Amino acid sequence: MNLHQVNEIINGTIQLDCNTFHDYTNVFASDLMSDVLRYYMENTLLITGLCTLQAIRTAEISNISCIIFARGKRISDEMLQLAKENNIAIIESGLTVFEIAGRLYQNGLKPVRE
């Protein structure tokens, strides 16, 4: 599933479109970045309500190329710049983490497993 398909499913707003044709297959949802750091996640979307630079840095380390910020969170200009430097796409959505994960799961994306 590509970035624009994901965005349509979750009624989001793409704030940074740098991975348009990337094929996402998995979803990981967490506000606790130490949980995210336990995995190396190719082809994975991160859903979070943690709207800080730490989320962008964690995605970079974990090889996540798209972050979906849930619950209407708005990213700062500094976050947008850091995401751009690291080629991490950004989507903002007014839906909850649960709603976003559910919609993406219903449309074929799988959870990250240990």
**CA gap 92, 14 in Å, rounded:** 6
> By three-state DSSP, how is residue 9 classified?
helix
Domain extent, residue 14, equals 3-111
pLDDT along the chain (114 residues), means of 10: 97 91 93 91 93 97 96 97 97 98 98 83
pTM: 0.94
Considering its fold, how many domains does the chain have in total? 1
6 and 89 Cβ atoms separated by less than 8 Å = no
CATH for 51? 3.40.1390.20
Summarised one tens digit per residue, pLDDT across range 50-59 is 999 999 999 9
